[in-house]
A = this chain, B = another copy of it.
Amino acid sequence: MPSVIPADSVGLVTPQTIHFDTPLALACGRVLEHYDLVIETYGTLNADASNAVLICHALSGHHHAAGYHSMDDRKPGWWDSAIGPGKAIDTNRFYVVALNNLGGCHGSTGPTSINPDTHKPYGPDFPIVTVKDWVNSQVRLADHLGIQRWAAIVGGSLGGMQALQWSIDYPERVAHSLVIASAPKLSAQNIAFNEVARQAISKDPQFHQGHYYEQEVVPKTGLALARMVGHITYLSDDGMREKFGREMRAGKLSFDFNPQFEVESYLQYQGERFSTAFDANTYLLMTKALDYFDPAADYDDDLVKALSHASCRFLVVAFTTDWRFSPERSREIVDALVAAGKQVSYAEVESAHGHDAFLIPSPRYMELFGAYMERVARDVGIGKAQQEQKETANAR
């Protein structure tokens, strides 16, 4: 609810839907004959289309990464802290594109969309999509927008996996890849947590094998549980201690099964809110995309060999208390990049916020993020000079 749009905001933004008619062959063997992608863009594409930055979203993200949709919005886009005039991804110089991925539930073609073959929502019949599929769809998007080469592709968590996959599959179309709080593939523990989430959703009696739309119900309980489990893995033990400690809601124990501790009601609230805002089939698809991500698999399980195809420069960022994708996992990427002879900068940022840290604008994180993007700007020939020129022009 900004009474005034902040000066460092991209301001009011409007999503656009782009329709694609060229069939897209998916990793699972199925083909999407046509599909929509919903995007938002911030800033202005320059004449030689050299200043474009692609933002890839994480599990529950979407195209609304920055700014406001209306003056009534309670909150700006999900990465507003990093995208805007003068921010790390400076929209005074970069043209920023954020999209909702295929399979999403925010306007791009996904399980909630109408299947042209049946005239009913796809539901569970929507094909399983992978990070590679997303990258292929994003290539079409780039073509549509007239972007031959991204100045940078940026993503956190599952978004970072897309940035990594781009660098391997389309090396000539990426100048810089920013892989934040990510991993080269999921661990058994990661997969296990995803499986608990999937079980919670699919065993909810309101799930109806994914055909809940027809029943006009939502598997709220399952989705809430999935989110609660997820949420615990996004926060660090330390961060939770700082945020909640063992504070009790009523000051003292009441010896019943109502929530006693702040952390319990917080989690319940988060689960409840998510369960009415997100689509269960999409959640299943996103967790599968995570599980199946394994860029080394196409290269004899050799990550070095996979990354040897890349020609961009890399920034890899990890956060000290992130235990979902720990710094160790980021270092696996860095080690493979170094072994493949690639240029990589690595930063391990001190933070108490666990995996969520990638969304939180801590000073050191934003400084290094901004400094790297400054380098990207220089690299693609859109240095300070151009920006100052533009600012002078704006001031007239």
Residues on A facing B (Cβ under 8 Å): 27-29, 124, 127-128, 185-189, 191-193, 195-196, 198-200, 202-203, 205, 221, 224-225, 228-229, 232, 235, 237, 240-241, 243-246, 253, 255-257, 259-261, 263-264, 267-268, 271, 284, 288, 291-292, 294, 323
Question: Of all chain B residues, which has the CB nearest A205?
Answer: B205
Contact yes or no, A255 B199, CB < 8 A: no
- How far in angstroms is the closest Cβ of chain B from A90? 37
Known: A187-B246, A189-B237; 15 extra A-B contacts, CB below 8 A, are: A28-B255, A29-B255, A186-B246, A187-B237, A188-B237, A188-B263, A192-B267, A196-B228, A196-B229, A196-B232, A199-B224, A246-B294, A253-B292, A260-B291, A260-B292
Contact yes or no, B191 A257, CB < 8 A: no
Contact yes or no, B225 A264, CB < 8 A: no
With A229-B196, A263-B195, A268-B199 in contact, is A128–B240 under 8 Å at CB? no
Contact yes or no, B291 A191, CB < 8 A: no
29 contacts between A and B (CB under 8 A): A128-B255, A128-B256, A185-B246, A186-B246, A187-B237, A187-B246, A188-B240, A188-B243, A188-B244, A189-B240, A191-B264, A192-B232, A195-B228, A195-B259, A195-B264, A195-B268, A196-B225, A196-B229, A198-B257, A199-B225, A199-B228, A199-B271, A202-B257, A203-B221, A225-B225, A229-B229, A257-B284, A260-B292, A261-B291
A261: chain B residues within 8 A (beta carbon): 188, 191, 291
Copies per complex of this chain: 2
Contact yes or no, A255 B27, CB < 8 A: yes
**Interface SS, A side:** helix
With A200-B225, A203-B221, A246-B185 in contact, is A192–B264 under 8 Å at CB? yes
Question: Of all chain B residues, which has the CB nearest A297?
Answer: B253
- How far in angstroms is the closest Cβ of chain B from A9? 33
Contact yes or no, A191 B288, CB < 8 A: no
A256: chain B residues within 8 A (beta carbon): 128
Contact yes or no, A240 B187, CB < 8 A: yes
10 closest A-B pairs (Cβ-Cβ)? A28-B255, A188-B240, A188-B244, A188-B263, A195-B264, A203-B221, A189-B237, A128-B255, A196-B228, A192-B232
Distance, CA A28 to CA B257, complexed state (A)? 12
A205: chain B residues within 8 A (beta carbon): 205
Distance, CA A187 to CA B332, complexed state (A)? 30
Question: Of all chain B residues, which has the CB nearest A30?
Answer: B255
